[in-house]
Structure 1
Amino acid sequence: LCRFSQEKILRLLCKPTVGRFKNQEGILNRGFKYAGIMITLNNEPKVLEFNVRLGDPETQPLMMRLRSDLVELILSALSGRLNQTQSAWDSRAALAVVLAAGGYPAHYQKGDIIQGLDQLSLPDVKVFHAGTQEINHQVVTDGGRVLGVTALGKDLREAQQKAYQAAQLITWPNCYYRHDIGHRAIS
């Protein structure tokens, strides 16, 4: 998102919602707040959901960029000292591509052997496991959202290229993923 869009989302959606939490008696306002937001074709932000937990796979790019100790940040938040704690972030862009099992979200196959993970050693790329399991020393599919291939880049285009380059190295029968992640933000 461009800086204008980020500021607009914070001003119009996030800050008023968090403010309501603060002003409601009995609601403890410590911890994560996750806003699932969609940008319409008219470039207007629309709320899909609010959660008091981190979203998945949305957290994966955040974890790639976070340079501070996550546990320290959580403990600071719980003790009411988060505003006194500095957090450090990698300034590069991050992007995640979810590799899913064929048939997801309805009926999908489990137990397919995942190939290519052992050969994956690209800089600035991490694979987050979601729907996987290890059986007889082999990683197999065990859910609909199987892997999150997440990459850092100097800009969103580079992060996208790295994530898709890595995704192409990973295979199993009926593996699929969207090919448009980040497309609207880049174009």
Structure 2
Amino acid sequence: MCHAHFEDKYLCRNNRISNIAVPTLKMRSPLTPPSTTSLQQLNLGHGPSPSSLTATMQEAALPSTSETNVHLNLGEKTTVKKAKSRVFLTNTEKYLQDKLVAASIKLSKMKNRFKKLSVNVKAAKQIASNPAVCDILENCTSTRKLLISMQCQEDHKKEKERRFTLQEKIASLSIFKQSPKGYRFLRFFLFCLLSKH
């Protein structure tokens, strides 16, 4: 806009236009706004209608029925599993359950012990059925037989858990009196003999 469109009353000094000036001179006819019918025709001709746009938006926002059913079914399954895992017991039921668990643990330990003993019994039978071993045992003296029985009885025990009879103590003492070094060698590497303490 230039000075030709404003009246003289809107002109300030230094040939400037005031802030509240309104152009009134040499103006064209006011522009007529476009009709609504033409806008509707343009909308219909070039793009989808607003109703169709809203429908597509609603379809995109809402998931399909099959997907919602799957989510609901999964939620139901998880709730059922949680309900099964949570079991509230009374004091007597809890006591009996603890007893049952302890009995099952004891039974499993006894089964393992029975397996080990059965293996040892089979090995002992094989050794006893060997004719060479039978000849050695028949020709052994009483002291040798006593030492062999000591190994069979006390070998699997710890050192502080071993207990000896009076005859075993006398035999060990007689070996120690004959050779203290030999007794130490036998005690540490070969036989389960008494210690000094």
Give the TM interval when normalised to the shorter protein: under 0.3
TM-score, structure 2 length as denominator? 0.21
More helix by share: 2
More strand by share: 1
| Greater gyration radius | 2
TM-score, structure 1 length as denominator? 0.22
**Highest relative contact order (Cα 8 Å, sep 6+), 1 or 2?**
1
